């Protein structure tokens, strides 16, 4: 006679196993969803809830998010107002998702590149991701200029190359390495699927690393920028650095460039109060002036005005270090 109690025990274990898997996956995707939406409401925190524009933009964002989450369309193709094209798959392209949801991506940085980069200039994008700034810069500096995209994550390289190709650019050079203070190999965690979480030092990736199968350990080459790139320093106009907490080491790897005559602009993603080395190096030692702006990649705003740097600021910002003259957040 068949033992029903044994079958019942097997059934209980199966239900518990499936429930555990569901809880783990739900928790992981909930973290991703919270990470996306927190940015939207956080960066719009100064807007009153009664503001009609804010309500309209919030509703647009929610509708677009729902449409994106339920879409069966695998490939996203975005063309910006300045006719720059980007493409990527629905699950893994951080850039295309942001552009689809918000119609812009860090307008303060985008507009600064447009105002500053000229034909023949050199732009270095450290932490280039899928090429948002590198590709825009490639169009701005023209055939006589150059763009260097430094990107260590293997999952970003195919989209980066594809975006360069569809924009018909031959002046963008990719280095699939990490930038740092030593020439060596480095390892860090990277999420395997549906990444909207940034890079190696993200706290959520640290949490997800505790869940089997959610992340993988990546080993890549690390290079000092001053040994990797050999260009006239007076041609290097802007260096953008977004390396998830390793910005200090990137600067240490180009310290031979920081002479008295250096006039390179730096745009660095950082928390001013926690970035004493960067503040001391650029503001105090090399006499730069600092400005800051929200990292508004997931915000419905076109505001591109920079405010004077507050070195006691405890919030992560895009910080511009420049020797150009500014007044009321506007380049003069």
Q: Are residues 204 and 288 in the same domain?
A: yes
> Is 198:153 a contact under the CB 8 Å cutoff?
no
| Bridge partners (DSSP) listed for residue 68 | none
Helix axes 4-43, 52-70, angle to 10 degrees: 150
Burial 212-238 (b: 16+ CB within 10 A, else e): eebbeebebebbbbeebbeeebeebbb
The pTM (predicted TM-score) of the whole model is 0.81
In a domain, 59, yes or no: no
Higher pLDDT, 187 or 63: 187
Q: Are residues 136 and 219 in the same domain?
A: yes
pLDDT tier, 319 (very low <50, low <70, confident <90, very high otherwise)? very high
The residue count of the chain comes to 332
Q: Are residues 46 and 82 in the same domain?
A: no
In a domain, 103, yes or no: yes
Higher pLDDT, 324 or 158: 158
Between CA 164 and CA 158 the distance in angstroms is 10
Between CA 257 and CA 182 the distance in angstroms is 15
Query: How high is the pLDDT of residue 38?
Result: 52
Query: How high is the pLDDT of residue 77?
Result: 87
Q: Mean per-residue pLDDT for 59-77?
A: 73
Helix axes 94-102, 52-70, angle to 10 degrees: 140
Query: How high is the pLDDT of residue 331?
Result: 55
How many C-beta atoms surround the C-beta of residue 55 within 10 A?
13
In a domain, 36, yes or no: yes
In CATH, what number is assigned to the domain containing residue 175?
Answer: 3.40.50.150
Sequence-separated (6 or more) residues with CB below 8 Å from residue 103: 300
Indicate if the pLDDT at residue 48 is higher than 80.
no
Give the mean pLDDT of the chain.
82
> Is 220:178 a contact under the CB 8 Å cutoff?
yes
Note down the domain range covering 47: 4-53
Token pair for 227:
């040994």
Higher pLDDT, 298 or 67: 67
Q: Are residues 147 and 222 in the same domain?
A: yes
Number of domains into which the chain is organized: 2
pLDDT tier, 256 (very low <50, low <70, confident <90, very high otherwise)? very high
Token pair for 186:
């480095």
Q: Are residues 32 and 79 in the same domain?
A: no
Query: How high is the pLDDT of residue 50?
Result: 57
């Amino acid at each position: 006679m068949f033992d029903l109690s044994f079958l019942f025990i097997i059934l209980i274990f199966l239900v518990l196993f499936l429930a555990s898997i569901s809880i783990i996956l739900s928790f992981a995707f909930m973290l991703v969803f919270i990470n996306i939406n927190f940015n939207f409401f956080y960066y719009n925190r100064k807007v009153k809830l009664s503001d009609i524009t804010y309500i309209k933009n919030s509703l647009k964002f929610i509708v677009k998010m729902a449409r994106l989450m339920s879409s069966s369309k695998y490939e996203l193709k975005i063309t910006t107002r300045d006719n720059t094209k980007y493409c990527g798959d629905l699950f893994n392209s951080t850039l295309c998702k942001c552009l689809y949801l918000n119609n812009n991506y860090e307008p303060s940085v985008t507009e600064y590149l447009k105002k500053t980069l000229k034909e023949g200039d050199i732009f270095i994008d450290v932490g280039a991701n899928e090429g948002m700034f590198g590709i825009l810069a490639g169009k701005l500096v023209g055939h006589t200029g150059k763009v260097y995209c430094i990107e260590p994550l293997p999952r970003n390289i195919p989209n980066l190359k594809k975006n360069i190709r569809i924009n018909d650019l031959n002046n963008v050079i990719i280095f699939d390495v990490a930038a740092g203070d030593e020439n060596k190999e480095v390892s860090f965690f990277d999420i395997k699927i549906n990444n909207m979480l940034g890079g190696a030092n993200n706290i959520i990736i640290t949490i997800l690393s505790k869940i089997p199968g959610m992340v993988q350990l990546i080993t890549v080459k690390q290079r000092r920028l001053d040994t990797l790139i050999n260009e006239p320093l007076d041609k290097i106009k802007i260096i953008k650095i977004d390396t998830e907490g390793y910005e200090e080491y990137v600067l240490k790897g180009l310290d031979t460039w920081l002479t008295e005559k250096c006039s390179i602009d730096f745009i660095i993603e950082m928390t001013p109060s926690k970035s004493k080395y960067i503040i001391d190096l650029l503001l105090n030692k090399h006499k730069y002036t600092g400005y800051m702006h929200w990292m508004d990649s997931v915000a419905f705003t076109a505001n591109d005005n920079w405010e004077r740097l507050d070195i006691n600021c405890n919030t992560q910002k895009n910080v511009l270090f420049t020797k150009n003259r500014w007044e009321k957040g506007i380049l003069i």
